[in-house]
């Protein structure tokens, strides 16, 4: 019976070692795949701008050089909205009018100060100035920035 005294402590230490090894392997795997974190941010940004943003949704976005191209949709059913889009450091100066549900492509120059390398990430704030059907000037700020990879 004297040999059984240390068995519980030994089993505890072995189980603790296994748990620690599994935790270390998990942390190492997450650290070796940093692209997963950036892809998750892009997915969250796209999900917000496609589904939650009102009255304008950004369906697609791309930045090439310092110019951004954005596909917007008026998701408000109350009437036509005239808007100007500000992204990063750029702003389109020509007002664009959207009918309810209408989709348009807008290019904005100088959204970033200098062109990023293809495949690197951009993270840009968005401001949309628009006029409601009643003629009231309003602003739409994004709850999330527009995030993507340079093309």
79 and 61 part of one domain:
yes
CA–centroid distance for 27 within its chain: 24
Residue 47 belongs to domain with CATH number: 2.60.40
| Residue 137 sits in the same domain as residue 93 | yes
Bigger pLDDT: 91 or 18?
18
Instruction: Verify that 24 and 89 share a domain, yes or no.
Output: no
Site of tokens 């974190």 = 37
- pTM equals 0.73
Predicted local distance difference test score (pLDDT) of residue 3:
60
Q: Give the residue numbers spanning the domain of 22.
A: 2-32
- Residue-level pLDDT at 139: 93
Same domain? 45 vs 76: yes
- 61 & 114 share domain: yes
Q: Do 43 and 26 share a structural domain? A: no
Task: Assess whether 134 and 78 both reside in one domain.
Answer: yes
Q: Clarify whether residues 57 and 15 are in a common domain.
A: no
Asked if the model's pLDDT at residue 111 lies above 70, the reply is yes
pLDDT at 2 over 60: no
Give 9 or 63, the one with higher predicted confidence.
63
* Burial tier of 134 (Cβ tally within 10 Å: 0-12, 13-18, 19+): exposed
Q: Are residues 85 and 23 in the same domain?
A: no
């Amino acid at each position: 019976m004297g040999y059984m005294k240390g068995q519980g402590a030994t089993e505890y230490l072995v189980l603790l070692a296994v748990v620690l090894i599994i935790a270390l392997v998990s942390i190492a795997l997450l650290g070796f795949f940093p692209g997963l974190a950036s892809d998750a941010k892009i997915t969250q940004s796209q999900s917000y701008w496609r589904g939650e943003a009102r009255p304008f949704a950004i369906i697609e976005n791309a930045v090439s050089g310092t110019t951004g191209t954005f596909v917007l949709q008026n998701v408000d059913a109350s009437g036509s909205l005239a808007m100007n889009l500000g992204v990063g450091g750029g702003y389109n100066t020509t007002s664009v009018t959207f009918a309810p549900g209408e989709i348009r492509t807008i290019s904005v120059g100088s959204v970033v100060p200098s062109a990023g390398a293809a495949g690197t990430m951009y993270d840009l704030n968005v401001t949309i100035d628009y006029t409601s059907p009643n003629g009231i000037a309003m602003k739409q700020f994004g709850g999330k920035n527009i995030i993507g990879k340079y093309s």
